[in-house]
Amino acid sequence: MSLSGEAAGEHKLPSNGSVVIQPAASAKPRANQSPSSRKSDTIPPYKMYALPAPIRTFPLPSFYPNNPLSLFHLVYAWLSQTFFPPPAEPSVVHEGTWDPDTRSVHIKDAKSIRALWQQGFFGKGSLSRSEPNWLKREISRRGDAERGVVAEQRTDARREERRMAKWERAKNELEAIERVKHEEAQSKETTAEELANGHVESPEPPSAQIDDVIEMDLPCPDLSLTEAPPLQSRSAIADDIPNGHLETRKPPVGPLELLALPNSLADLSSETKPSLPESQPPAVNGITNGSIEGPKPPVGPLELLALPNSLPFCPQPTAADDTTESPKTPVSPLEPLSLPTSLTDLTAGSSLTQEEPELSPTDHVLDGHANGVYGILNGTCSASTPLSSAQGSTKKPQTNGQVAQPLKRRKGVRFSPEVESTTFQHTDPPSPNRSPPTATLSQGTVAERSATEAKPSTAGDTLPSSLDISVVFGELVNKEHFQLSPEEAFFLVFSLGALKIVDPVTKATIPTEQLLALFRSHSYFPARTADGSLTAGLQPHDPFLVHFAVYHHFRSLGWVPRHGIKFGVDWLLYQRGPVFDHAEFGLMVVPSFSDARWSEYEHEKAKRSWSWLMGVNRVLSHVLKGLVLVYVDVPPPPVFDEAMASGGIADALRKYTIREVMVRRWSSNRNR
Amino acid sequence: MATSVADRQVRISKIAGRYLVFDIDDVAYIRRHHGICAVFTGTMPQNPTQNVFLGLPIELYAEEARLLVDKKVGYIADDANDHLSRLKSLDEPSRKAYLQSLKTQRKNAQLVIDEARAQSQAKHKSKRKDKAPKLEPSESTSTKEDDTGLFDATPAKPAQVVVAKQALPAVTPTSTGQLISKGDGAAIQVPKSYPLYAYLNKRGYFITPGLRFGGDYSVYPGDPFRYHAHFMANSYGWDEQIPMLDIVTSGRLGTSVKKSFLMGAQQPVDDDNGDAAGDSRVRVFCIEWAGM
């Protein structure tokens, strides 16, 4: 229990608010440390957040009659506390500045921030969701892995994992189906050669069909197969087998295939246009894709579209070799969908075939982007060809590509009419004009470079931002401050005395009475601070008073109340704190005017509707929280004023009573 | 579907403050032509205990009833109130006409009964002939005499039948019939969200109550049999302040059920701009959560 705020916080970040990061030189010695020694530095959360409020207590050790020694311990503790009494609690009074614009109390001192956060989870960082760890995030974003991971990254990783698992499951199901279909199809075939002969002339129908489906103007690929093969006839034959399947195929009907289709026309055209002029070499693309075992499975059906981004990084020659080496690539029935790629590529690239080796990686990237739609299909069916002989050889480059470029996500919503990029990374800034200094840049792989070059929108900024990193790596200034809501601040000031609040202009400490009036007047919008007097239009049912009564009530009972706007409720109740668990309840505060004398005074009418209750309840039950309606019986003005005059704030607050009603939806059909 | 689509008048019975439609043809008509699907509230005769799929009648809510009346394709039949007041205020000729109509109703009923009776008698006769030809003659004569028996077709109680002889059957009219006033739409109390409802309906959206999604309406792009709802609509006053928490709740909820949150309001009528078509003064906005 004696863990003080400073001691607990020591291990996080230096307290001056700015951190000096030495990129390479000083990072090395730290890297030499074994991971276990670094681990011992970190304090487990139950220790770090041991204090439920910024107050320390010094309980006497307990006395065990069967252990006489404990008596000495007791006496020692008692004596030491009598002769050297610990400082009066709260020993540390933090200082905050009232900010009328954001209606919050700002705290700039890093020590105070840490103390308030770790001892009771007060406040939130202005640039973070709750814990003020912008600086940490920033550091880890800039690639200083030594600093450890922040919670947000773990969350991301967990979500990623989950998506991956889902994708894997879907893939397996699809695979099973495909395998059955494939076996059936094979049993019908007599010989591969015959089939090839039979179908060389007729690859057009399926591709045309698919073109219809996605409504795009691809060059008609009908002549491609007959012309392209001379160079690699073997591979052409291999290519044709899928075509054989193709013809029997229907247009994509399954959910996965449908999802894999381009979202919109705009999307498609923006993707395909750049690709057509410098299209990739022959069928290689399609076939490698087809034969490679799916790299890292893309995140979700929608993000499948992002898959081809990693494909281009497989070195071209290998891919080409693979295709020629794998004449009997077992073909999944999904392959048909990948056909257009190979076909169009063939038409466009049949003349290019000789130049194949000279193609720069950039081209790959571009093409990968452009063929995103198809590539993804390739990816899917590739996953369903476990027998592929090319697997082993292509695996390596594939994984390289993967490491080089982090996964891109598909954008779901687009607001701008001109779509600059349909994919994004989590680290991307909201504005596409600002290129992110990616962590992978330091690795300096060709793939990464080409990827950035490939995007014309970000290309211009790539250079400055990469320079930026080296320059900025010197010093990183913490731009984040800490915000306390008025209720939290008043609780700290009035109930605990662990905070003093200064006026933003005069820098003088605001006395508690005045602070209450200030908060009350600012709980209205616009604030009722007209004509100088603070207590002008104030009522006992000011939102601040009602909410503070609730806040105080639940804080005193040991809960950690935090603002619940993200779930559409007034407060969220955490049992121990946001670090340990999810909020258990959402509170809606409902002022109640049950006192008979209220009929003489005007007060706001209750205007909550049933649909409001259903909505709130539904939102909360989605996130597995209980809805609690907190009725606050507000004392009528004379009672309140009298109590305020006689006994001060504490007496006045005593007049408020709190009733809690937990609401749960119960449906006779569901809850049987 | 007997009447042509053009002049069809949907009878909306107002019973205990609810607007009900009992005619299946009317139900199909308003669903097909006016985008109103309403809510089935009756039980299914085949399976009266289940409560998932319900049958006729459908219950319209006030906005739907109002819309139909405003479009002049329906009328409100409020029998309970209308009956007495109309009968009291009748003048002599219409009173006579009404009585006459009742009489014809009774005669019609008589005809129907007779017919039914004759049929069942014929059946009986053939049966009895097969079974007991002896008893048959006496029975048939008695029934033939009092062919004005009340509702029972079986001649089990000859004495009673004789008493009721010659009297037309008593008919309890279920409705005041054509006497009923076809009330105007203004009588229907609609919630404040009616302009939004009318606005959406005019644009071909199907609308069902949105209570379970925490909104006023859930809005479908077509028949709810074919589509999921696309919007969750909430109506506000033109100058009403919308609490931030409501936006968060609705936006969050709408996104989690894959709908977008729509809010709409009607601009109040200005003095200089006395535009009667309130529809044009409705504005709607959609909110979608982009980061989820």
Distance from CA of B51 to the nearest CA of A (A): 9
**pLDDT (0 to 100) of residue B43:** 84
**pLDDT (0 to 100) of residue B75:** 84
Tell me which chain A residue has its CA closest to the CA of residue B253.
A619
Tell me which chain B residue has its CA closest to the CA of residue A613.
B214
Mean pLDDT of A127-134: 85
Which residues of chain B does A615 touch, with a Cβ-Cβ cutoff of 8 Å? 213-215, 249-250, 253
Element (H, E) at B29: helix B24-34
B146 pLDDT more than 70:
no
What is the torsional sign of CA B175, B176, B177, B182? negative
d(CA A582, CA A624): 9
A154 pLDDT more than 60:
yes
Mean pLDDT of B219-247: 88
Which residues of chain A does B211 touch, with a Cβ-Cβ cutoff of 8 Å? 610-611, 614
Residues 453-482 of A with CB under 8 A from B: none
Q: Which residues pair with A574 in a beta bridge?
A: A560
Helices (H) and strands (E) in chain A, counts: 27, 14
Closest CA to A50 of A561, A579, A491: A579
E strands in A426-566: 475-477, 482-484, 499-502, 560-563
B18 interface with A at CB cutoff 8 Å: no
CB contact at 8 A, A366 and A278: yes
Pairing of strands A409-410, B231-236: unpaired
**pLDDT (0 to 100) of residue A165:** 94
A355: pLDDT confidence band, cut at 50, 70 and 90?
very low
B34 is catalytic: no
Element (H, E) at A26: none
CB contact at 8 A, A82 and A33: no
> CB atoms < 10 A from the CB of A601, how many?
14
Pairing of strands B55-60, B18-21: antiparallel
ipTM: 0.71
Most confident of A10-14, A149-153, A203-207, A594-598: A594-598
pLDDT digits (tens, 9 = 90+) for A85-116: 888 888 889 999 999 899 999 999 989 999 99
A416 interface with B at CB cutoff 8 Å: no
pLDDT more than 90, % of chain A: 24
How far from B95 is each of B8, B65, B101, B103, B175, CA to CA, in Å?
Answer: 27, 30, 10, 12, 16
Which residues of chain A does B54 touch, with a Cβ-Cβ cutoff of 8 Å? none
A598 interface with B at CB cutoff 8 Å: no
Which residues lie closer than 8 Å to A495 by C-beta, 6 or more apart? A552, A555
Distance from CA of B209 to the nearest CA of A (A): 10
A629 pLDDT more than 70:
yes
Better-scored residue on pLDDT, A523 or A219: A523
**pLDDT (0 to 100) of residue A177:** 94
Interchain CB distance below 8 Å, B210 and A618: no
B259 is catalytic: yes
B87 pLDDT more than 50:
yes
B52 interface with A at CB cutoff 8 Å: yes
Interchain CB distance below 8 Å, B214 and A618: yes
pLDDT digits (tens, 9 = 90+) for A316-350: 443 334 433 444 443 444 443 443 443 334 434 33
Which residues of chain A does B51 touch, with a Cβ-Cβ cutoff of 8 Å? 669
A560 pLDDT more than 90:
yes
Residues 207-226 of B with CB under 8 A from A: 210-216
Which residues lie closer than 8 Å to A359 by C-beta, 6 or more apart? A280, A281, A316, A352
Distance from CA of A544 to the nearest CA of B (A): 16
Tokens encoding A455? 């995007």
B260 interface with A at CB cutoff 8 Å: no
**pLDDT (0 to 100) of residue A599:** 86
Tokens encoding A457? 């929108």
d(CA A491, CA A509): 16
Pairing of strands A475-477, A18-20: antiparallel
Better-scored residue on pLDDT, B99 or A23: B99
Instruction: Please name the member of A412, A615, A669 whose beta carbon is closest to the beta carbon of B250.
Output: A615
Interchain CB distance below 8 Å, A615 and B215: yes
**pLDDT (0 to 100) of residue A96:** 93
Amino acid A415 reads F
Which residues of chain A does B249 touch, with a Cβ-Cβ cutoff of 8 Å? 567-568, 612, 615-616, 619
Tell me the DSSP string of A76-137.
Answer: HHHHHHHHSPPPPSS---EEEEEETTTTEEEE--HHHHHHHHHTT--SEETTSSSS--HHHH
- The residue with tokens 């129908």 is A205
Task: Give the Cα-Cα-Cα angle A582, A588, A589 (nearest 5 degrees).
Answer: 130
pLDDT digits (tens, 9 = 90+) for A442-470: 443 334 444 434 444 433 333 333 334 44
Q: Which residues pair with B59 in a beta bridge?
A: B20, B39
Tell me which chain A residue has its CA closest to the CA of residue B235.
A611
Which residues of chain B does A618 touch, with a Cβ-Cβ cutoff of 8 Å? 212-214, 253
Closest CA to B67 of B259, B250, B205, B174: B205
Look at chain B and count its residues: 292
Mean pLDDT of B43-68: 83
**pLDDT (0 to 100) of residue A595:** 87
B160 interface with A at CB cutoff 8 Å: no
Tokens encoding B190? 């609609």
Tell me which chain B residue has its CA closest to the CA of residue A564.
B245
Task: Give the Cα-Cα-Cα angle A167, A169, A171 (nearest 5 degrees).
Answer: 70
Per-position b or e across B127-145, b if 16+ CB within 10 A of its CB = ebeeeeeeeeeebeeebee
Residues of A forming the active site: 574, 582, 625
